[in-house]
A = this chain, B = another copy of it.
C-alpha cells in the first residue's frame, strides 16, 4: 500500500490512507506500506490515477479508500466491514459527511501544521493547491483556530448523539463507519499538536478505544 508520508517517512497522516489501514487491520490482513509523497505521481502511475491510498493485492490494484473498502469486503468477507448492502449504503453517507463536514472543518485548523511536516519537495504544490481551494493563505487559515474550534466541535454533534446510544458507530462492534471517522481523526493527530477535540468529549473517549484496537495500530503511529 502506498501511504502518504511527511519529510520524516514515519509520519503518516492521510485520513484516507488511515481509513484503509484500519479497514485492513479490521480484516486481519497484513500490509506493507510504502511511504509516498504528494508530488511523486510516477510512483503510483500503475494505478491509473494520482492519489493515495493505492493497494496492490496480488495482481489487483485498487485506489480510493471507499473502493478499497468495497474490494476488501467482497474479497475477504469476514470479519465484515459492512455485512449487508444497506449497511454499506448507509456507511456511504457517513463517509460523505466525514469528507465534507469533518475534513473541511479540520482543514483550516491544521493545514499550516501539515505544511511544516511535509517533504520540501511537496511544499510548493501543497501551498498552491490548498490556498487555491480555501481562497486564503495557509497562515490566514490558522488564524483564530482556538476560537473557531468551538463551532467545529459543535458540528460533530451527530457523532456524539450516536455514541450516547451505542459503543461503536457500527453498533455493538466496530464497522467500516468506525474506520472512516477514526481515520479522519488520525489526520490532525498525526500532523499537528492542535487539540481538535476537548478531552471530556465522548467522541474523544471513543477515539481512544479506537486507538487501542488492532494491537494499538492508531496509538503507535508517530506524532509530530
Contact = CB atoms under 8 A, between A and B. Distances in A.
A173 to B, nearest CB: 8
Interface residues of A, number: 33
Interface in A145-180: 157-159, 161-162, 165-166, 168-172, 175, 177
A47 interface: no
A169 B90 contact: yes
Interface in A55-102: 80, 82-94, 96-97, 99-101
B89 A86 contact: no
A176 to B, nearest CB: 9
B158 A97 contact: yes
Within the oligomer, what is the number of copies of this chain? 2
Given A90-B94, A177-B93, A85 B161 contact: no
A95 B64 CA distance: 27
Q: Which interface residue of A93, A168, A171, A175 has the most chain B CB atoms within 10 A? A: A93
A92 B175 contact: no
Contacts of A158: 93, 96-97, 99-101
B101 A171 contact: no
A55 B222 CA distance: 53
A89 B161 contact: no
A175 B93 CA distance: 13
A93 B171 contact: no
The 7 closest A-B pairs by CB, nearest first: A89-B171, A90-B90, A96-B161, A84-B84, A86-B87, A96-B158, A87-B87
